[in-house]
């Protein structure tokens, strides 16, 4: 039976740099550990989430029994939440190599092993929309059947657009909340969306910088370098949502890769709009050739901190690495903390537990 006088505790599987962990802690859930085999994330995770430990483990080799022993867990703990946001490149609609991501194709089923063994009171899953597609053999259907067999209740599970929950980017994700002790529903969307203007720009503390700026402070307002040709391309690109169509027809600046199809990957080299949510922040958001990641008016891609802000990380969140690519990967792969907070609050309220913030 759920004990309302006790605090909810959680384990964050595939935790990365700790976006989900941080959000759950803001909601009043005590995250005791993050589990991930990308050790690059360890220092960032533990620095920003004191009290939570980072377990450098591969869930395909690390058994539920070992986890139980390492964290002193009990089976059938009604006050335990297992959260699983597995790497999901294989099922993503973004054009990535399926061969490279084959090994992570069914990590949700490895997460299922932990749920079946521990039978926690609550389960949270967030993943790309494609993972729930039965037509493509997505593993989520098998996971949902297993939850039902174990007695978990969930009134709805579907793809949500995080821009409808106050996250300043269009980020669609399959989201599921389940419990075997209480009724729990996905939260209702908010009425007002946040836009790029709401969080970026000089009025939000982001000074103007040029491409190639390296910010060694914790603020990390670092912008990737650009060739002179790409700077010229951005100079010709209309501010506030402009795209490459202006210069793609100019022989001096046209890109050969788009010569046969001007609509192919139409967002690449494009600018964000001030008064719309940003596009999905990916692991390559610092590169203008990988999406609509150019600043709305400055001739550069968005900075590392701007990407983190669009992901709703607070400016105090420290990303620890000497590699721009590693930091961008940590940011792009994360569950936006503010969305995690919303999910966490939904669980806390459903459980009827008085929450205590852990951040």
* pLDDT of the residue at 325: 96
String of DSSP letters for 32-84 = EEEEES-GGGHHHHHHHSTTPEEEE--TTTS-HHHHHHHHT--TT-TTEEEEE
Give me the pLDDT at residue 91, please. 39
* DSSP secondary structure code for residue 169 in this structure: B
User: What confidence score (pLDDT) does residue 356 get?
Assistant: 72
Residue 259: what pLDDT? 65
From the CB of residue 180, how many other CB atoms can be counted at a distance below 10 Å?
18
Q: Helices 64-71 and 107-118 sit at what angle, rounded to 10 degrees?
A: 60
Q: What is the pTM of this model?
A: 0.92
**Total length of the chain:** 359
Helices then strands (H, E): number in the chain? 11, 7
Q: Give tens-digit pLDDT for 146-205.
A: 999 999 998 778 899 999 999 999 999 999 999 999 999 999 998 889 999 999 999 999
216, 219, 300, 323, 324 from 225: Cα distances, Å:
15, 18, 8, 14, 11
The single residue of 41, 85, 88, 257 carrying the catalytic annotation is 88
The DSSP-derived string for 83-114 is EE----GGG-SS---TTTTGGGTTHHHHHHHH
Tokens of 342: 């919303």
Rg over alpha carbons for the chain, rounded to the nearest Å, is 21
Q: Which two tokens stand for residue 44?
A: 């960032």
**Coil, strand or helix at 196:** helix
Percent of the chain at pLDDT > 70 equals 89
Q: List, edge to edge, every strand of the sheet that includes 172-179.
A: 53-56, 30-36, 9-13, 80-84, 122-127, 172-179, 157-161
Range of weakest confidence among 3-12, 79-88, 110-119, 318-327 = 3-12
> 3-state SS string over 264-279?
CCCCCCCECCCCCCEC
- Average pLDDT, whole number, for the chain? 90
Q: Which region holds residue 269: left if phi is over 0, alpha if psi is between -120 and 50, else beta?
A: left
- Average pLDDT score over residue span 277-287: 97
Cβ-based neighbours of 44, under 8 Å, separated by 6 or more? 17, 18, 318, 319, 320, 321, 330
Is residue 88 flagged as an active site residue?
Answer: yes
pLDDT value for 255: 83
Q: Are strands 30-36 and 53-56 parallel, antiparallel or unpaired?
A: parallel
Which domains can be identified in the chain, with CATH numbers? Answer: 9-193+336-351 (3.40.50.150)
Backbone dihedral angles phi then psi of residue 294, each to the nearest 5 degrees: -80, 145
Residue 7 confidence class, pLDDT cut points 50, 70, 90 = confident
User: Which has more pLDDT, 5 or 107?
Assistant: 107
The 10s digit of each residue's pLDDT in 89-118 is 543 445 554 454 455 567 899 999 999 999
Q: CA-to-CA distance for 168 and 280, rounded, in angstroms?
A: 9
């Amino acid at each position: 039976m759920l004990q309302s006088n006790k605090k909810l505790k959680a384990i964050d599987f595939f935790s990365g740099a700790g976006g989900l962990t941080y959000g759950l802690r803001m909601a009043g859930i005590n995250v005791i550990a993050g589990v991930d085999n990308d050790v690059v994330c360890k220092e960032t995770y533990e620095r920003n989430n004191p009290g939570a430990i980072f377990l450098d483990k591969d869930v395909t080799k690390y058994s539920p029994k070992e986890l139980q022993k390492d964290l002193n867990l009990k089976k059938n703990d009604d006050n335990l939440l297992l959260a699983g946001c597995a790497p999901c490149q294989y099922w993503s609609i973004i054009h990535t190599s399926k061969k490279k991501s084959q090994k992570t194709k069914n990590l949700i089923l490895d997460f299922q092993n932990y749920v079946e063994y521990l039978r926690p009171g609550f389960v949270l899953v967030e993943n790309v929309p494609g993972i729930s597609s039965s037509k493509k053999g997505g593993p989520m259907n098998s996971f949902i059947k297993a939850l039902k067999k174990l007695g978990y209740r969930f009134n709805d599970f579907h793809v949500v657009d995080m821009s409808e929950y106050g996250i300043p980017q269009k980020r669609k994700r399959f989201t599921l909340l389940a419990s075997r002790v209480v009724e729990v529903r996905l939260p209702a969307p908010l009425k007002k969306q946040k836009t790029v203007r709401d969080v970026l720009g000089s009025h939000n503390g982001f000074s103007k910088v040029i491409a190639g700026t390296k910010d060694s402070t914790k603020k990390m307002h670092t912008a990737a370098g650009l060739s002179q040709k790409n700077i010229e391309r951005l100079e010709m690109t209309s501010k506030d949502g402009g795209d490459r169509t202006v210069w793609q027809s100019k022989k001096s600046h046209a890109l050969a890769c788009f010569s046969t199809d001007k609509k192919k990957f139409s967002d690449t080299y494009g600018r964000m709009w001030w008064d719309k949510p940003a596009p999905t922040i990916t692991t390559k958001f610092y590169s203008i050739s990988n999406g609509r990641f150019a600043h709305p008016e400055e001739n550069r891609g968005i900075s590392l901190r701007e990407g983190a802000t669009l992901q709703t990380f607070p400016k105090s969140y420290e990303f620890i690495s000497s590699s721009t690519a590693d930091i961008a990967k940590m940011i792009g792969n994360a569950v936006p903390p503010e969305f995690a907070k919303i999910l966490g609050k939904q669980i806390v309220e459903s459980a009827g537990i008085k929450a205590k913030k852990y951040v």
